[in-house]
């Protein structure tokens, strides 16, 4: 196995190794491939989905709140619009907001956790008290209050608020990881060799935590989807654009989907979308650990 590698090409070779490793990890459990395909589908849907439909969506007054049929696979809503079209056009807001939430959660949480755990001392105390304070603020009531003054017109705004509300847990967890990693021999060796803090944090600590962070990112995405869908479902936010939560709200409260069978498709559409997204994330998380761990990647 010992191939003589020209040192200059090592990093290129390693990159190649990495991707072939990823491929092997994916192949080992086909379910992971399903996850990735689903995930790609959602990304595509969010990016290009709305382009396939007219804006606003055509209404068919003769087809109000219909059960699934060949023409409308998941039926129609109370204004005669196709449920699938609604799910697809609504995905952009939901997914974008969730992504922004996740990025803010993970970036803020990781940065604060790393800094706190690595620096220790006074900084640690201050930041962790801050984190604890943040963690004690109940998210949903605060959101309800916020929504009375702020209408969350854009997905980015929505994501920003949700992100700022949810980094606490990640910060705590990353700090704990950092604390245990910094006692490991290789971090100590790096300090003894006089390597810069940037190197230690960026090249030694972060990669060791990468699977963990990536996992948190994916979990934060589901979290983001749930919270905003929940908010819209509760109806505390005004009807502005298509949105899965909005659909659920209308299906349940206006069309009575819980009692009226013909509105069932209307209810199922967004639920199915959320379910599939969660499934995709769970399956990808399953592959994550092996992808980031060079040892598991090879076996």
Partner 1 sequence: MITGTGIVKTFKQRGKVLGAREVQALRGVDFAIPKGGAASFIGESGCGKTTLGRIIAGLETYDAGDVVIGDVPMSPLKPKQRQPHFRKIQLIHQDPYSALNPTRTVHQTLHAPLSLRAGQTGRSRAWMEERAAEVLSLVGLDPGSVLSRYPHQLSGGMRQRVVIARALTVDPEMLVADEAVSMIDVSLRLGILALLKDLRERLGVSVLFITHDVATARYIGDDGELYVIYRGQVVERGPVDTIIADPVHPYTQSLLSAIPVLHGLERPGEQPVEPLESLDESQADEGCLFARRCPFRGERCEGERPLLQLTGGVPQEHACFFPERRSVIARPMSEV
Chain residues in the site for partner 1 (CB under 8 A): 2-5, 7-8, 10, 13-14, 184-186, 188-196, 199, 203-204, 207-208, 210, 292-295
Please identify, using beta-carbon distances, which residue of 82 and 204 lies nearer to partner 1: 204
Please identify, using beta-carbon distances, which residue of 13 and 133 lies nearer to partner 1: 13
Alpha carbons 96 and 111: distance in angstroms, whole number: 22
79-to-53, 120, 235, 284 alpha-carbon distances in Å: 16, 58, 18, 37
Q: Is 69 helix (H, G, I), strand (E, B) or coil?
A: coil
* Cβ neighbours around 274 below 10 Å, total: 19
Tokens of 157: 């705004």
Please identify, using beta-carbon distances, which residue of 119 and 254 lies nearer to partner 1: 119
To partner 1, the closest distance from the beta carbon of 183 in angstroms equals 9
Max CA distance (Å), the chain: 76
To partner 1, the closest distance from the beta carbon of 208 in angstroms equals 6
**What residues are paired with 82 via a beta bridge?**
76
To partner 1, the closest distance from the beta carbon of 211 in angstroms equals 10
Please identify, using beta-carbon distances, which residue of 13 and 47 lies nearer to partner 1: 13
Q: What are phi and psi of 294, to 5 degrees?
A: -55, -30
Alpha carbons 294 and 289: distance in angstroms, whole number: 10
Please identify, using beta-carbon distances, which residue of 144 and 195 lies nearer to partner 1: 195
Q: What are phi and psi of 82, to 5 degrees?
A: -70, 130
Please identify, using beta-carbon distances, which residue of 54 and 193 lies nearer to partner 1: 193
To partner 1, the closest distance from the beta carbon of 177 in angstroms equals 14
To partner 1, the closest distance from the beta carbon of 72 in angstroms equals 50
Alpha carbons 174 and 182: distance in angstroms, whole number: 12
To partner 1, the closest distance from the beta carbon of 2 in angstroms equals 3
Please identify, using beta-carbon distances, which residue of 207 and 238 lies nearer to partner 1: 207
Alpha carbons 160 and 99: distance in angstroms, whole number: 10
To partner 1, the closest distance from the beta carbon of 14 in angstroms equals 7
Alpha carbons 246 and 250: distance in angstroms, whole number: 6
DSSP state of 178: H
């Amino acid at each position: 196995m010992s191939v003589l590698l020209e040192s200059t090409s090592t990093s290129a070779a390693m990159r190649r190794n990495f991707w072939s490793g990823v491929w092997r990890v994916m192949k080992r459990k086909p379910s992971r491939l399903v996850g990735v395909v689903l995930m790609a589908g959602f990304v595509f849907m969010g990016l290009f989905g709305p382009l396939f439909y007219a804006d606003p969506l055509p209404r068919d007054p003769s087809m109000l709140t219909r059960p699934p049929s060949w023409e409308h696979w998941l039926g129609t809503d109370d204004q005669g619009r196709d449920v699938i079209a609604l799910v697809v056009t609504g995905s952009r807001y939901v997914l974008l907001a969730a992504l922004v939430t996740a990025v803010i959660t993970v970036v803020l949480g990781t940065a604060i956790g790393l800094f706190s755990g690595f620096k220790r001392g006074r900084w640690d105390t201050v930041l962790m008290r801050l984190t604890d304070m943040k963690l004690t603020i109940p998210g949903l009531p605060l959101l309800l209050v916020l929504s009375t003054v702020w209408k969350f017109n854009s997905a980015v705004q929505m994501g920003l608020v949700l992100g700022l509300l949810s980094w606490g847990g990640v910060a705590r967890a990353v700090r704990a990881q950092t604390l245990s990693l910094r006692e490991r021999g290789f971090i100590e060796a790096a300090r003894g060799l006089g390597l810069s803090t940037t190197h230690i944090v960026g090249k030694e600590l972060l990669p060791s935590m990468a699977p963990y962070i990536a996992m948190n990112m994916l979990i934060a995405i589901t979290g983001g989807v749930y919270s905003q869908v929940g908010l819209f479902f509760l109806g505390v936010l005004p009807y502005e654009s298509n949105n899965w939560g909005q659909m659920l709200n209308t299906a349940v409260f206006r069309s009575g989907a819980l009692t009226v069978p013909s509105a069932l498709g209307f209810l199922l559409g967004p639920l199915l979308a959320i379910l599939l997204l969660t499934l995709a994330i769970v399956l990808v998380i399953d592959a994550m650990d092996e992808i980031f761990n060079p040892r598991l990647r090879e076996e």
